[in-house]
Structure 1
Amino acid sequence: MADKTKPEKGDMVAFPRGPYTHYGVSDGEDNVIHFGPESKGVSNTDGIYKKEPIEDVATHGYYVCNNQDDEKSPQSPEKILEDAEAKIGEKATYDLDGFNCEKAASDLRYGEGQGVSTQVQGSMLGKDTSDHLYDVHNQFGTDTGIQRK
């Protein structure tokens, strides 16, 4: 397991965003490659893969390493980064309940078609917003390696 104080190359990085969490993949050099809507707000719209400094993506400086799945074997960090770098600038349809930032980061980490969105799975299992906020709170609690710059 990676040191949560600094994401390593290929680690999934999670950023709290109110009732949701935004995800990307670390390049190991304090940048994150992530997928999101081209314009502000969350809706079904065009999305794009971007590479940005972690501190620019982290609202109030909060982020944490969250590799999502201890049961799946990730691709090698080199393969994750190679695939992520190849996606920069690529556009796709952003769908909060389908292909979203978490699914995109998970696909990069575990391989195309292997990724999931735990946030969407939770809503499909009947979790409401308060359940999700509780999960986010636990994920970003003091014992989870939360970082604030």
Structure 2
Amino acid sequence: MAPTARKHGAKPGDLIEISRGAYQHWAVYIGNDEVVHLTIDGLVKCDNIWKVVLNDKFKVNNLLDNEYHPHTPDVIVKEAKERVGKKVRYSLTDYNCEHFAAELRYGKPESRQVRITIFKVLRYVGTCGVIGTLGAFGGVGAAAVAGAIGTASTAGAFGVAASAGVAVASAASALFKRRKR
């Protein structure tokens, strides 16, 4: 029996989301079973879709079509092909494969998985974030109040929480700033 061809259902210009377990890898379908994608070392590559997908689950996911007007398929494919072989500054939070794919389709580098991850982190450290924000606005006030009404270890805990909260707030602020082009 002859091997059956695998099907993907993608059309040129579509974004391909590949589930890698803890994260998703993103690529742009350009036709003829080829995708253009950004690697972690910042290299833009053109590969066979099955070489990139491997045995992982994947889907066509033009996730921002309801938010932004996508470029036409011919413009997306042309731009993707022009970037192949080029090296770009890769950053897990500022410019990853999802930013790259979204930029090709919509003209705007955006990563939903980065935003979702930050929201999860903020929710996880919620108390430290609240205390830290209060500490940031009140300087060392929270630690001073804790020291006045409690023990030295309580004051120290507020100080550490304030520092952690300020760090989380700073990281979140940096991640949500729009990239200027």
What is the TM-score when the length of structure 2 is the normalising length? 0.60
Deviation at residue 53 of structure 1 after TM alignment: 0.5
* Structure 2 unpaired stretches of 5+: 1-6, 123-181
4+ runs of 1 displaced by more than 3 Å?
Answer: none
Identity %: 33
Question: 1:28 maps to what in 2?
Answer: 31
Q: Greater helix percent: which structure?
A: 2
1:49 is matched with which residue: 44, 49, 53?
44
Q: Deviations over 1:6-38 (max 9, x none)?
A: 110000001111210000100122111000123
Question: 2:103 maps to what in 1?
Answer: 107
What is the TM-score when the length of structure 1 is the normalising length? 0.72
The answer to whether the aligner puts 1:116 opposite 2:110 as a matched pair is yes
- Counterpart CA distance in 2 for 1:31 and 1:127 is 35
CA RMSD of aligned residues (A): 1.7
Q: SS state of the match for residue 81, structure 1?
A: helix
Q: SS state of the match for residue 91, structure 1?
A: coil
Deviation at residue 72 of structure 1 after TM alignment: 1.1
Deviation at residue 88 of structure 1 after TM alignment: 0.2
Q: Greater strand percent: which structure?
A: 1
Question: 1:62 maps to what in 2?
Answer: 57
Q: Deviations over 1:28-79 (max 9, x none)?
A: 22111000123xxxxxxxx110000010001315321001112211000000
The structure having more radius of gyration, on CA atoms, is: 2
Aligned residue pairs total 115
